[in-house]
Amino acid sequence: FKNELLIEADEISGAILKFQKFSGLKQTGYMNQETEAMMLVPRCGVRDIAETELQKRIRRYALLGKKWHHLNLTYKISKYSKHITHKEVEHSAYEAFKKWSDHSPITFTKVLPNENADIDIRFATGFHKFDNDPFDGPNGILAHAFPPEVGMVHFDDDESWTFNKKEGMRILEVMIHEFGHIIGLAHSHSHASIMFPYYKSRSPKLNISDDDINGIHAIYGPNPNEPTTTTQITTTAEEGPTTTTKTPEVSICDDSNYDAMLMHSSHMKIFRGKYFYNIFTVKNETERNLISLTFPGAPTDMDAALYTMGRALFFKDDNVYSFLPQGQRYYLEHGYPKNKATLFPGIPSRISAAFLRQHKTYFVATNGDYYSGPSEVEGITPVKPSNLTIEHLPILIDAVFSWGLHFTYFFCGRTFYKVHGTIPTIDSYGESQIFLLKCEY
């Protein structure tokens, strides 16, 4: 019994130590006045993510490992607050979204409450039927949001929300934070970051920090109209100084947002943004290329990819692109791009992945549903809902590829899941960057 108490005490001390570390407090491992005070501060209900080894070395943003695959997002306010007016809620939502759109290529457009929208904003209290995460009343959990592309954000209306006032809970500050989750940012342990999980009354201007901006740039890149950083390079005295504009590249080892994958011959292609990465499984090498150089006319930030019947198919929004190999490059097949619903009647409007498995073509909808059709994709290929279920596999999938007839690999954020069997089950899982790219942390 004494040993059990010692183990329990060690676990409590360890938990306190982790809390103090993430919150930027002095790490003592025991409860003190400073730690207790921080625990009582109202905060966001989204769970904190443990630090990666990279974050232990440098203070930096954290990512949820998810992104929106289209950038013109719509939002609606399904239920308003009882503490502030409709106009105040709408103005706060507009200003909060603008903080992120000013530094990214994403746009946010408000639609009516009865219309379909990418993002659904709702004020609720206690247990609310839209998720299994009830609110706890005043001065506790302020709000919670879901990652891309679920698009739900809820605010606890038992809080005393205020608009443009010093007292109460300032709705704008909390909205900026929650909308950061909506577009893929996790909690930051930097106190200056708007993504710090605990409520802090900030200046009325309420600008997001450099840490927040770096995070959103890592996922989507900068706003095309946003000034980029400049570097002065001095050449010769006759030429004078030259200013070169540079946008820092984010290593694929630091960010696991994969758009799509293709498996062909002895190597794999991972697509992200305007680049793709060749993974040579035989040589154990990786190289990065511009999509436009190898696949002229192909979309960037694509939704899904599939190699079938000797051609590479790329899916982006409502279109499908077909590329045929020609040496080291591919060329766009005549008549493409085509409307994907015409080629694949029954396909969901938004997909996150496509793959071949056991003589069928599967599409993964962004809500986690599966659709399937014949494996030989040529001409018009009807697609219908599938009863494929894989226990313990996350709903939100980034990319999928199949290895032969037996194994299928699903990628979700930083984690991959190896699935096999006629009745699909998870065989193993691990960290995708280490598995695919041999990244070192």
Q: Which residues contact 386 (CB under 8 A, 6 or more apart)?
A: 360, 362, 370, 371, 372
Q: Is 412 annotated as a binding residue?
A: no
Q: Is 137 annotated as a binding residue?
A: yes
Q: Report cis status (omega within 30 of 0) of the bond before 337.
A: yes
Q: Is 178 among the catalytic positions?
A: yes
Q: Is 154 annotated as a binding residue?
A: yes
Q: Is 310 annotated as a binding residue?
A: no
Q: Is 398 annotated as a binding residue?
A: yes
CA distances from 348 to 249, 351, 374 (A): 33, 6, 16
Q: Is 45 annotated as a binding residue?
A: no
- Compute φ and ψ for 82, nearest 5 degrees: -90, -5
Q: Which residues contact 79 (CB under 8 A, 6 or more apart)?
A: 122, 123, 124
Q: Is 301 annotated as a binding residue?
A: no
Amino acid at 168: G
Q: What are the structure tokens assigned to 390, written together?
A: 């894989």
Amino acid at 132: N
**Rounded CA separation 135/143 (Å):** 8
**Rounded CA separation 266/279 (Å):** 9
Q: What are the structure tokens assigned to 32, written together?
A: 């003190």
Q: Is 158 annotated as a binding residue?
A: no
Q: Is 136 annotated as a binding residue?
A: yes
6 in helix, strand or coil? helix
Q: Is 153 annotated as a binding residue?
A: no
Q: Is 427 annotated as a binding residue?
A: no
Q: Is 305 annotated as a binding residue?
A: yes
Q: Is 118 annotated as a binding residue?
A: yes
Q: Is 353 annotated as a binding residue?
A: no
**Rounded CA separation 127/168 (Å):** 23
Of the residues 178, 226, 285, 287, only one is catalytic, namely 178
**Rounded CA separation 404/356 (Å):** 9
The annotated binding site is made up of 44, 118, 128, 131, 136-137, 144, 154, 156-157, 159, 177, 181, 187, 195, 259, 303, 305, 352, 354, 398, 400
Per the annotation, binding residues for Ca(2+) are 118, 136-137, 156-157, 159, 259, 303, 305, 352, 354, 398, 400
| Residues assigned a catalytic role | 178
Residues belonging to the binding site for Zn(2+) are 44, 128, 131, 144, 154, 177, 181, 187, 195
